[in-house]
Amino acid sequence: MPKLKRWYLHLFDRTQADLNWDNPAVRREVAEVVRWWKRRGVAGFRFDVVNLISKPEHWISDDSGDGRRFYTDGPHVHDYIAELVDRAGIGEDLTVGEMSSTSLEECVRYSNPQSHELAMTFNFHHLKVDYADGDKWAVCAPDIPRLRELLSTWQQGMAAGGGCQALFWNNHDQPRALTRFDTTGGAYRDQIARMLAVVTFTMRGVPFIYQGDELGLPDPCYGSLSDYRDVESLNYARILRERGMSDDDILAVIQARSRDNGRVPVPWDDTATCGFSEATPWLAIPPSFRQLNAAAARRDPTSLWHLYRDLIRWRKRHRVLTEGDVRFLPVRDADVIAYERTHGTHRVVVVTSWCARQATGIDAAEVDDLSEITAWATAPLAAVTETVDLAPYQVRVFATASLHP
């Protein structure tokens, strides 16, 4: 701050100064802010990048990175979160922490009930499988074997440690999963959207629906950098230009990575501004969104919107989905992910294809005692003989007969 001749820390935008959580007065005031909202009837709290609140006692230069290893999951973070939850009286409320660059072990501790911290955590490892060499701004095709490894490790690891994982594919900081996992330019949009929905509601944890998931919204893919508003995107476009990248290549990167992808107004109907507002919205609504509107989806009994309703009802009815164990299954194809949920005598097996070709999924022996749920089929169902085979981006669900919707 030039006027005061003082420096201050902001890990993100310069208008977002980091609070000094080592100051007891700051922690008391944050707890009072939470209590203020709780008194007004708020029953759930999401804490943004909450694992970054505890900073090191001494600051040193990071000569081999961007410094995050010094302030991620800091020395007092668990104490501060537990204190906040206790002081604010939200230990019985829904609490979820967004965790930046964290680890499985830390997320188990944050969300294990014995820690008296949070009910569940968001982690983002599974949404970095299309980062070339770990660089967000270097676009590559999704690494599905890596995705399978991450889902398996986190699902089974959180279960073993007694932690709870928030299940999601999209949020306000991410491009749409429907676009990022599609290698065909939209040819299988509906199949991918349905597969992502089924996976969200059949894995272990708590499903989160982000606005537009239930409509199958893709990225807007704006045709000009001037259409984007996200400060991170615009800053990185400048950095890429300084590195010598062409304008066309910069636009392609921003189209794939911008946080604006998840911030386009929701299309409620097919009017000019899709029922969002009579005013011009801050982000342009792509023409394709007019066909993907909520009113049309609600009228169509076969729509993705109705599938989400079916999945919500189904999950609420069966403890195998809300409380069951999870085990990932051996697969025959690198682009297949399969897992089972078990609870007592009940079993559910989910087999998914993440590619635009026919794929061999798992051995038929894995589903011998189960029958297939055909109502959610996204393609003709191949007979199960020696293996469970899959059409492009198909999801197949097998379950104990009593679990069928």
Q: Which residues belong to the active site?
A: 48, 98
Give the integer Cα–Cα distance in Å for 374 and 84: 47
Helices 24-39 and 77-88, axial angle in degrees (round to 10):
40
DSSP one-letter string for 297-313: HHH-TTSHHHHHHHHHH
Between the CA atoms of 114, 117, 122 and 126, what dihedral angle is there, to the nearest 10 degrees?
Answer: -40
Cross-strand bridge partners of residue 166: 206
Give the integer Cα–Cα distance in Å for 298 and 268: 10
Segment 341-347 long-range contacts (CB within 8 Å, at least 24 positions apart): 341/202, 341/204, 343/319, 344/320, 345/400, 346/318, 346/319, 346/320, 346/399, 346/400, 346/402, 346/403, 347/320, 347/399, 347/400
Give the integer Cα–Cα distance in Å for 143 and 134: 12
Query: At 97, which helix (H) or strand (E)?
Result: strand 94-98
Q: Is-contact 73 51, C-beta < 8 A?
A: yes
Q: What is the CA radius of gyration of the chain?
A: 23
